Each structure stands twice: as C-alpha cells, then as structure tokens.
Amino acid sequence: MDRVDQMYEAVKQKILDLEVDPTQPIDETALVRETGGSLTLVRQALDRLEQEGLVVKQRKRWHVARAATASIMMEIFEVRTTLEGMCARLAAERITEEQIERMEKVHQDFERVLHQGDNVALLAVDKKFHQLLYEASGNRFLARALDEMYALIYRLFYFALDRIGSVRANVEEHHNILEAVKTGDGRTAERLIQQHIIHFQRMVEELL
C-alpha cells in the first residue's frame, strides 16, 4: 500500500468513525496533523472520497456528505439485504470461537451504551457488530462491498438518530442474529439479518 492509499484509508476511517465532525467543514490542517501526512496527500485522499460520495466540495471547502439521494439509498438497501443475508449465512458456517467472543463483547457494549445516550458511541458499536459479521463470513470481497454500502447508511443514521426513535429493537435483533450464527443456523441468520435491514430501511424511508 503506497502513501496515497494509506492516507485515503486513514481519512476514510476518521470519517466513518465520526472523528471528523459531519456538521462542520473538514479541517484539512487537522487531518495533516493527526495523520502525520502532508496537505497534498490529504487532498488526494479527499478527491478519492468525493468519488465514493463520502465528501463533497462546497465553496472551496470539503464537507462530509450527508447521504445519498433517496433513490440511490433504496438501491443500496436492495443490494445490502441480499449480500448481508449471504454474509450471515456464511458466517454461521465459518465463524470461529474467537470471533464469537468478539461479537458477544460488542453486543454487550451495545447494551451498555444504549443507556448512556451517546449517539456517536452507539453508532460505533453498531458499525463494529456488522463489521465483525462481515469478517466472520470469510469472504473479503463480500466484506469490502458491504462495508462501502454501510458507510452511507451509517452517516444517515447519525443525522437522523434522534428522529428514528428507540433502538431497543436493534439490540434484540442483533442478539437473535448472533444466536443463529453461533449455533450454525445459516438459514435463520440470513432471514433475521434481512429482516433487520428491512426494519431499518422502513425507518429511513420515513425520513427521506
């Protein structure tokens, strides 16, 4: 991985982890300081991220893109429902004991932060749960495709969380998905993750 790729990955991760404030213009100087790179590398990374739809340039300043259009978002949900169902089914067949332990810990963290009212922490834990599921599928191409799609939805969740309402159902759905994966029940895991995504899709449709 060359320096441009490294900077791209570093800046992208900061955006996805909400370390870059999505409500303010992106501070390029801060990114240079935090990544130890150069202004040129940061700008090259932002150019690539603009092509992916993660950032936009307005009045010569970079901003985190709010979300895709409604039509694109619905297309993402269509693909994600199918691919994440496949991912859950494969995870049920291939998950290791160590991966199960990591997912169980993340689920416990979800329960804990739910009561703290910290939206950023809540989103980070939700993201980690899904990323671990992708990893457990044992298919890096599938995992990468899902991670790219999750990025847009993740940011929409941040902007709309206070209007979506209770996320208690999310915790229960995660628990049921994890139990199906742990017991090797791929068909149930596939069905539950698809229901989970459709549930969130319906909430998003009310906001778009």
Q: Are residues 77 and 16 in the same domain?
A: no
Which tokens go with 15? 């955006």
Neighbour count for residue 155 (Cβ, 10 Å):
22
Q: What is the structure's pLDDT at 158?
A: 62
Give the end of a domain, one of 19, 39, 64.
64
Q: Are residues 53 and 108 in the same domain?
A: no
Give the end of a domain, one of 64, 84, 100.
64
CB 73 within 8 Å of CB 42: no
Q: What is the pTM of this model?
A: 0.73
The CATH number that applies at residue 116 is: 1.20.120.530
Q: What is the structure's pLDDT at 29?
A: 93
The secondary structure of residue 173, as a DSSP letter, is H
**HSE of 89 in the Cβ direction (CA atoms, 13 Å)?**
11
Instruction: List the domain range (segments joined by +) for residue 99.
Output: 70-205
d(CA 45, CA 33): 15
Q: Are residues 180 and 121 in the same domain?
A: yes
Q: Are residues 113 and 190 in the same domain?
A: yes
Q: What is the structure's pLDDT at 2?
A: 83
Q: In total, how many domains does the chain have?
A: 2
The CATH number that applies at residue 59 is: 1.10.10.10
Segments of the chain with pLDDT less than 50: none
Q: What is the structure's pLDDT at 161?
A: 61
Q: Are residues 75 and 46 in the same domain?
A: no
d(CA 196, CA 48): 31
Which tokens go with 20? 């870059």
Q: Are residues 185 and 165 in the same domain?
A: yes
